[in-house]
Amino acid sequence: MQRNILVIGIGAGNPEHMTVEAIKALNRADVVFIPEKGAEKEELAALRRGICDRFIERAGVRRVSFAVPQRDASGGYRSGVEDWHEAIAGIYEALIRDALNEARTGAFLVWGDPSLYDSTLRILERVEARGALTLAIEVIPGITSIQALAASHRVVLNDIGKPVTVTTGRRLGEDFDGEGTTVVMLDGGTAFAGLDPDTHIWWGAYLGTPDEIVIAGRLGDVGEEIARTKQAARARKGWIMDTYLLKKEER
């Protein structure tokens, strides 16, 4: 028995980021799976539910919520992520098996685009590898936080003839060589703090939402302001999603 799965990119947080293709796909779903990440991140689940309220026109579409376990950060990073993904794969398998029957379609709503720093597709691959379910997976692209950040700051990502590197806060020290543009995602701290103070930064948090915050300037001038703003925002809301661009000043 084959289950049909839609993995839909929903943008960076603004419902207006939903593309025509994404809206049409959402209206093909019989079941929408809504992840719950605890009380602190209830706002994220509420945003997904709001998208369903606004764009689903069909009657009878079910919403199935499920709890997402926290990653164990006590051991090695990669092994911890592997174990975490395996645990979520077990949850996905049970959800799909119980909620979908033949000729029915389920949808996972993914922040940004499913291809960029999201693990939904990897986890669904694990579900298929377990062998109990046969899945037909369709991916609908979405607007990423990188695009939303560049739009908010009114900047072009790439300089003429220069590369664009996308990395994480964890790897910034290894990947930032000052050549072209470096885009940093998943920075739980302030990995930019030790960089050349003449580096230019374009930073943004909660992009596309009413709480959007953007700051830009020379790191030596705005780095501490960004750190303070980030800390205060996380304390206020209980979570933060931020992205930033870095470019070395040409001399």
pLDDT in tens, 15-70: 999 999 999 999 999 999 999 988 778 888 999 999 999 999 999 999 999 999 98
Q: Residue 95 maps to which CATH number?
A: 3.40.1010.10
In this structure, the answer to whether residues 26 and 124 fall within a common structural domain is yes
Question: What pLDDT is attached to residue 61?
Answer: 93
Reported as a pLDDT band with limits 50, 70 and 90, residue 103 is low
**Which of residues 125, 140, 155 is at a domain's end?**
140
Q: What are phi and psi of 214, to 5 degrees?
A: -135, 140
Percent of the chain with pLDDT over 90: 84
Q: Nearest Cα to 143, choosing from 24, 231, 2, 18? A: 18
- The residue with greater pLDDT, 228 or 238, is 228
Q: Enter the tokens of residue 41.
A: 């991140």
Taking a C-beta distance cutoff of 8 angstroms, is the pair 27, 57 a contact? yes
**Which of residues 95, 121, 140 is at a domain's end?**
140
Model's pTM, two decimal places?
Answer: 0.92
Provide the residue type at 89 as one letter.
A
Q: Nearest Cα to 192, choosing from 161, 163, 230? A: 230
- Lowest-pLDDT range, 14-28, 92-106, 159-173, 233-247? 92-106
Question: What pLDDT is attached to residue 1?
Answer: 78
Using the predicted structure, report yes or no on whether residue 251 has a pLDDT greater than 60.
Answer: no
In this structure, the answer to whether residues 135 and 159 fall within a common structural domain is no
Q: What does pLDDT average to over the chain?
A: 93
Residue 116 burial (CB < 10 Å; 0-12/13-18/19+)? middle
When pLDDT is averaged across residues 119-135 and rounded to a whole number, the result is 95
Number of domains in the chain: 2
Percent of the chain with pLDDT over 70: 98
In this structure, the answer to whether residues 152 and 193 fall within a common structural domain is yes
Task: HSE, CB side, 13 Å, CA atoms: give it for residue 199.
Answer: 23
**Which residues constitute the domain of residue 198?**
145-248
